[in-house]
A and B are shown apart, each in its own frame.
Chain A
């Protein structure tokens, strides 16, 4: 149901909701960026709609709400262990359409890919998702190419226009809370085109896996992992077993984000690492995002948010890599004919 209400009313509703939910949204963190006097837009808790950064794309995605960068799974002593408590409150997450599609990718990996991940599920089950519209495409976005520019799979859509707030609710609680508000049809803002257009090859022949094409990335990539950390569909983690220094017999197991670009990702017992070359790491990531994942799960993994292109300190464009790969696939197909 669509409603028109006021920012004051909506803030009051969120204030009530905050008793049971932590509310997360993209916020401006002033001076928090890599360089001096550069802000970061990333997820943080809010108490008022005015704190939400609607005008710009967030540098980091919402994924850290459901998949914390560092998450303690359980505590152990000599003979016993105890699972870490789940957060007492649920979560409400403001996010854009592309990221809502990213959520599906996370669900696929953590809920539908073999055993259910309980740590993910317990957060996921208590999270509500509120769509933020996109009036304009941002730099490096290619959601239209990926078909992620629209989504109806939200608990609510919310648009702030000065003191007016438009809401499309799929959530009973909000419908009740908004009783008496003006009912109106609310259609989420979405873009129909992006400046960046990406063409994904249908299939990539095995012969291109070792193509010289990837070597250039070996020289350019610095293995910082930023492309993975900002990506809403990168879900890899690794484990850290900590023994408390005062005791040594008690400790905890944490899981933390991992990156297929960062050194150590392919390290195995005995010290062998099978993807030392950074060009091969690029190939692995790109093929996972736009080839392997689809073969396994039916949709591409990449949702076209373009954050990897926004963040890369070496100006490596993932979007351009796909397009170049597509040209290469077409060329190799011609050669075979």
Chain B
């Protein structure tokens, strides 16, 4: 005789599945990077309490299906070392994940490995996770190292796309134009040549760093500061799937963290309390309140770098099925 509070279960990062009596445990891996020593622990849960299978989620977590609801406490005990190793904020030790609304903060492989990445996406994702998890509100945040956007940040509530501000030392340039060719063919064609030297169109430049990567003499180098493009309110879903639009360009880490945290206040204030499961995507709330109201909440107390461009009003398009 099972007597379950499904709402509590869901908040504990267990899924109510289609199989009667069986749940699935979602293991979050902020930034999508873990040490291999954790894999046997996940394997152990799947083989001891699950059905021996593990699903790799789109958000870079593990989902362990086929777990009996009655084994949740035992599974939570086995999750504990994983939670601790990954340094996940936890309200009650030993009780597993104490929220599931704010989803795993995902990241592309970033500058640990990828030659194109402009920053360490894993580190920023982990920092963001520390700031916003646990929370029951439905937030999706993703980090990507460059404008290629491999993690698809533009389908998230908050997408953080790395940017570097290319620095040009003209005396180190002999005019081979490797940067010009790369920018034209692989990026946005922001470079031109004047008197054998390179002129960067700062309006067009997306800070992808192709010029830096392709420069053979270090005439182009990266700015000491990393900048970010913050894109907001992309989503999938039934009614109006759409890509996120630019909010801040050339933004700093602190500004982005502050804006995401401010957004929790905005959502708390304006969420539809009657929404099914008390769950409503931020984007739909902004659609209701208008962008100006959201911006007022989001920018509260945010200190901007002089380079930062704030877009607005922001309009989204996407496909409307409603």
Using a CB–CB distance below 8 Å, which chain A residues touch chain B? 29, 31-37, 40, 42, 60, 68-70, 224-226, 229, 238, 240, 242-243, 245, 254, 256-259, 262
Q: Is B14 interfacial (CB-CB < 8 Å)?
A: no
Query: Do residues B172 and A69 form an inter-chain contact, with CB atoms below 8 A?
Result: yes
Q: A225-B216, A256-B175 are in contact. Are A32 and B195 (CB under 8 A)?
A: no
The contact of A224 among B212, B216, B224, by CB within 8 Å, is: B216
Q: A245-B194, A262-B176 are in contact. Are A36 and B217 (CB under 8 A)?
A: no
The 6 A-B residue pairs with the shortest CB-CB distance, nearest first, are A256-B174, A36-B111, A257-B174, A240-B196, A226-B216, A242-B195
The contact of A36 among B118, B214, B218, by CB within 8 Å, is: B118
Q: SS class of chain A's interface: helix, strand, loop or mixed?
A: loop
A224 to B222, CA, bound (A): 19
Using a CB–CB distance below 8 Å, which chain B residues touch chain A? 111, 115, 117-120, 145, 164, 170-176, 178, 194-196, 209, 212-219, 221-222, 224
Which B residues are in CB contact (< 8 Å) with A229? Answer: 216-217
CB pairs A–B below 8 angstroms (26 shown): A31-B224, A32-B218, A32-B222, A34-B212, A35-B111, A35-B115, A36-B111, A36-B117, A36-B118, A36-B209, A36-B222, A37-B111, A42-B218, A60-B217, A69-B173, A70-B170, A70-B171, A224-B176, A224-B214, A225-B216, A226-B216, A238-B174, A245-B194, A245-B195, A256-B174, A262-B178
A37 to B221, CA, bound (A): 11
Q: SS class of chain B's interface: helix, strand, loop or mixed?
A: loop
A40 to B209, CA, bound (A): 16
Q: A31-B224, A256-B175 are in contact. Are A69 and B115 (CB under 8 A)?
A: no
Query: Do residues A29 and B218 form an inter-chain contact, with CB atoms below 8 A?
Result: yes
The contact of B174 among A31, A60, A69, by CB within 8 Å, is: A69
- Shortest distance between the CB of A200 and any CB in chain B (Å): 26
Query: Do residues B213 and A34 form an inter-chain contact, with CB atoms below 8 A?
Result: yes
A225 to B156, CA, bound (A): 41
- Shortest distance between the CB of A185 and any CB in chain B (Å): 40
Which B residues are in CB contact (< 8 Å) with A31? Answer: 221-222, 224
- Shortest distance between the CB of A255 and any CB in chain B (Å): 9
Which A residues are in CB contact (< 8 Å) with B216? Answer: 224-226, 229, 259
Query: Do residues A70 and B194 form an inter-chain contact, with CB atoms below 8 A?
Result: no
Q: A69-B171, A70-B171, A224-B216 are in contact. Are A36 and B176 (CB under 8 A)?
A: no
Which B residues are in CB contact (< 8 Å) with A69? Answer: 171-174, 217, 219
